[in-house]
Structure 1
Amino acid sequence: MTVKRFVGTSSREAMRQVRAVLGEDALIIANRPTDAGIEILAMADGEAGGAETVSLAPKPRLQAVETSTAGAVDTASLLASHERLLNEVQAMREMLDAARPPQPVEVDTPDEAGEQQYKDLRSRLLGAGFGAGLAEDIAATAGPGLTPGAATDTWLVRQLQNRLRTPADAVAELEEGGLLALVGPTGVGKTTTAAKLAARYAMRYGSGDIALVSADHYRVGARDQLKVYADLLGVAMHVLAPGESLADLPQDIASKPLLIVDTAGMGQRDQRLREQMQQLAGGTRPVRAVLMVNASSQAETLDDTVVAYREAARSAGVEIVNAIVSKLDEAPRLGPALATIMRHNLCLHFVAYGQRVPEDLAPAAAGELMSEALMASASPEDEVAGARDPLDRGLALQSVWQQLSRELGELDSLQRVWGGEAAAALAEAPAATRFLVQGRDATEDFLALDRGGLALLSPVAAGPARQLPQRAEGCGLMLSKLPDSHSALMLLERQIPWLVAASHQSRVYCEGQRMPLSQLWSRAESAGAMAVNFRAREVQLRLHTVTVYAAPGGRRRRCSVRLRACLGELRNLDTGAVVGRRYWLAPAELHADDCRALLAQQMFAETFFALRRKASDLLGERLPTWRGQAARLHCVAHGLAALACRLDGDHSEWALDVRAQLLALDGRTRRRSPQLLLQALLQLFGQREALRRLALSLPAGNA
Structure 2
Amino acid sequence: MSVRRFVGTNSRDVMRQVRAALGDEALIVANRRSDDGVEILAMADDAALDHAEPSPPAPAPAEHPFDALSERLLREMQDMRALLSRTHPESAPSTDASLKALLAGLGFGAELGEELSEALPAALAARDVRDAPVMAWLRDQLIARLAVLEREADFFEQSGIVALVGPTGVGKTTTTAKLAARFVMRHGTRPVALVTTDSFRIGAHEQLRIYARLLDTPMYALDQEQPIDELLGRLGGKQWVIVDTVGMSQRDQRVIEQVDQLQGGGSKVRLVLVLNAASQPDTLEEVVLRYRQAARAAGAELDECIITKQDEAGRLAPLLDIVMRHGLRVLFCSHGQRVPEDMALADPATLVDQALAAAMPTATAPQAWAVDTLSPRWSRDVLGQGRRLSLLLAGLRKRVAGFALLEAAWDIAALPGVLHDRRLEALADRAREQNALGVAWSPRRAERGVAWAMPDMALDADGRLCALTLLQHRQNAGWQARIEAQHQAAVHLLPTLAEADTLDALEAERLTWISRVSGSQRVEWQGERHALTALFADSALAHREAVRFRGQTLELYSAHAEVDDREGRRLIAWVGELRDPETAQRVARRYWLTPARLGTETFSLLVTQLQSEGATALTKRAWQTLKEADGGEVSVPLRLLMASGAAAVATHLDNAEDEQAQALRQQLLRLARTSRKRRDAALLEALLHTLMTRDAIRQLGSVSREALA
**Same fold at TM > 0.5:** yes
**Aligned runs of 1:428-577 on 2, under 5 Å?**
431-439=435-443, 441=445, 443-462=453-472, 463=475, 464-465=477-478, 467-471=481-485, 475-483=490-498, 487=502, 501=516, 520=534, 523=537, 525=539, 529-531=543-545, 533-535=547-549, 536-537=552-553, 539-543=555-559, 566-572=574-580, 577=584
* Residue identity in the other structure for 1:382: A
- Report if aligned partners of 2:580, 2:587 keep a CA contact under 8 Å in 1: no
Q: Counterpart of 1:438 in 2: which secondary structure? A: coil
* Residue identity in the other structure for 1:182: L
Q: How much has 1:237 moved relative to structure 2?
A: 1.7
Tell me which of 343, 365, 370 is aligned to 1:361. Answer: 343
Tell me which of 615, 622, 629 is aligned to 1:615. Answer: 622
Q: How much has 1:699 moved relative to structure 2?
A: 0.9
Q: For residues 502 and 210 of structure 1, do their structure 2 counterparts lie closer, same or farther at Cα, with a shift above 3 Å needed? A: closer
| CA shift digits 1:316-346 (9 cap, x unpaired) | 4543232012343554432232222222222
Tell me which of 309, 321, 328 is aligned to 2:310. Answer: 328
Does residue 674 of the first structure (1) align with residue 680 of the second (2)? yes
- Report if aligned partners of 1:353, 1:360 keep a CA contact under 8 Å in 2: yes
Distance between the aligned counterparts of 2:521 and 2:273, measured in 1?
A: 72
Tell me which of 400, 415, 432 is aligned to 2:407. Answer: 415
Does residue 135 of the first structure (1) align with residue 149 of the second (2)? no
Distance between the aligned counterparts of 2:601 and 2:135, measured in 1?
A: 44
**Corresponding residue number in structure 2 for 1:161:** 143
- Report if aligned partners of 2:440, 2:609 keep a CA contact under 8 Å in 1: no
Distance between the aligned counterparts of 1:275 and 1:290, measured in 2?
A: 16
* Residue identity in the other structure for 1:449: L
Q: How much has 1:166 moved relative to structure 2?
A: 1.2
Distance between the aligned counterparts of 2:371 and 2:134, measured in 1?
A: 22
| CA shift digits 1:207-229 (9 cap, x unpaired) | 66543211134445533443354
Q: Counterpart of 1:389 in 2: which secondary structure? A: helix
Q: How much has 1:631 moved relative to structure 2?
A: 2.1
- Report if aligned partners of 1:280, 1:287 keep a CA contact under 8 Å in 2: yes
* Residue identity in the other structure for 1:570: L
* Residue identity in the other structure for 1:569: E
Q: Counterpart of 1:292 in 2: which secondary structure? A: strand
**Aligned runs of 1:655-670 on 2, under 5 Å?**
655-666=661-672
Q: Counterpart of 1:419 in 2: which secondary structure? A: helix
Tell me which of 185, 203, 208 is aligned to 1:226. Answer: 208
Q: Counterpart of 1:382 in 2: which secondary structure? A: coil
- Report if aligned partners of 1:405, 1:412 keep a CA contact under 8 Å in 2: yes
Q: For residues 169 and 394 of structure 1, do their structure 2 counterparts lie closer, same or farther at Cα, with a shift above 3 Å needed? A: same
| CA shift digits 1:253-278 (9 cap, x unpaired) | 35344422111233445443343233
**Corresponding residue number in structure 2 for 1:310:** 292
Distance between the aligned counterparts of 1:643 and 1:273, measured in 2?
A: 46
Q: Counterpart of 2:686 in 1: which secondary structure? A: helix
Q: For residues 599 and 368 of structure 1, do their structure 2 counterparts lie closer, same or farther at Cα, with a shift above 3 Å needed? A: closer
Q: Over alpha carbons, which structure has the higher Rg?
A: 1
Q: Counterpart of 2:225 in 1: which secondary structure? A: coil
Q: For residues 661 and 271 of structure 1, do their structure 2 counterparts lie closer, same or farther at Cα, with a shift above 3 Å needed? A: same
Q: How much has 1:366 moved relative to structure 2?
A: 1.6
Q: Counterpart of 1:432 in 2: which secondary structure? A: coil
Q: For residues 664 and 298 of structure 1, do their structure 2 counterparts lie closer, same or farther at Cα, with a shift above 3 Å needed? A: farther
Distance between the aligned counterparts of 2:707 and 2:290, measured in 1?
A: 10
Does residue 120 of the first structure (1) align with residue 98 of the second (2)? yes
**Corresponding residue number in structure 1 for 2:368:** 382
**Corresponding residue number in structure 1 for 2:18:** none
Does residue 194 of the first structure (1) align with residue 194 of the second (2)? no
Distance between the aligned counterparts of 2:342 and 2:461, measured in 1?
A: 47
Does residue 603 of the first structure (1) align with residue 589 of the second (2)? no
Q: How much has 1:137 moved relative to structure 2?
A: 1.6
Distance between the aligned counterparts of 1:286 and 1:318, measured in 2?
A: 9
**Corresponding residue number in structure 1 for 2:393:** 401
**Corresponding residue number in structure 2 for 1:287:** 269
Q: For residues 586 and 163 of structure 1, do their structure 2 counterparts lie closer, same or farther at Cα, with a shift above 3 Å needed? A: same
Distance between the aligned counterparts of 1:435 and 1:528, measured in 2?
A: 29
Distance between the aligned counterparts of 1:600 and 1:107, measured in 2?
A: 49
Q: For residues 691 and 431 of structure 1, do their structure 2 counterparts lie closer, same or farther at Cα, with a shift above 3 Å needed? A: closer
Q: For residues 115 and 629 of structure 1, do their structure 2 counterparts lie closer, same or farther at Cα, with a shift above 3 Å needed? A: farther
- Report if aligned partners of 1:209, 1:257 keep a CA contact under 8 Å in 2: yes
The aligned length equals 588
Q: Counterpart of 1:568 in 2: which secondary structure? A: strand
- Report if aligned partners of 2:263, 2:298 keep a CA contact under 8 Å in 1: yes
* Residue identity in the other structure for 1:471: A
Q: How much has 1:310 moved relative to structure 2?
A: 3.2
Q: How much has 1:202 moved relative to structure 2?
A: 5.0
| CA shift digits 1:354-390 (9 cap, x unpaired) | 5555454333222222222231547644278975532
Moved more, 219-228 or 493-502: 493-502
Q: How much has 1:141 moved relative to structure 2?
A: 2.0
Q: For residues 581 and 252 of structure 1, do their structure 2 counterparts lie closer, same or farther at Cα, with a shift above 3 Å needed? A: same
Distance between the aligned counterparts of 2:668 and 2:300, measured in 1?
A: 33
- Report if aligned partners of 1:468, 1:487 keep a CA contact under 8 Å in 2: no
| CA shift digits 1:620-649 (9 cap, x unpaired) | 45x252586432322112112222232344
Distance between the aligned counterparts of 2:371 and 2:255, measured in 1?
A: 33
Distance between the aligned counterparts of 2:595 and 2:209, measured in 1?
A: 84
Q: Counterpart of 2:248 in 1: which secondary structure? A: coil
Q: How much has 1:673 moved relative to structure 2?
A: 3.9
Distance between the aligned counterparts of 2:119 and 2:91, measured in 1?
A: 15
**Corresponding residue number in structure 1 for 2:327:** 345
Q: For residues 283 and 113 of structure 1, do their structure 2 counterparts lie closer, same or farther at Cα, with a shift above 3 Å needed? A: farther
Q: For residues 211 and 480 of structure 1, do their structure 2 counterparts lie closer, same or farther at Cα, with a shift above 3 Å needed? A: closer
* Residue identity in the other structure for 2:680: P
Q: Counterpart of 1:577 in 2: which secondary structure? A: coil
Q: How much has 1:121 moved relative to structure 2?
A: 1.0
| CA shift digits 1:287-319 (9 cap, x unpaired) | 221111233445455444334433443454543
Q: For residues 576 and 301 of structure 1, do their structure 2 counterparts lie closer, same or farther at Cα, with a shift above 3 Å needed? A: same
Q: Alpha carbon RMSD of aligned pairs, Å?
A: 4.5
* Residue identity in the other structure for 1:444: M
Q: Counterpart of 2:120 in 1: which secondary structure? A: coil
Gaps of 5+ in 1: 1-103, 551-558
Gaps of 5+ in 2: 1-81, 414-419, 447-452
- Report if aligned partners of 1:159, 1:657 keep a CA contact under 8 Å in 2: no
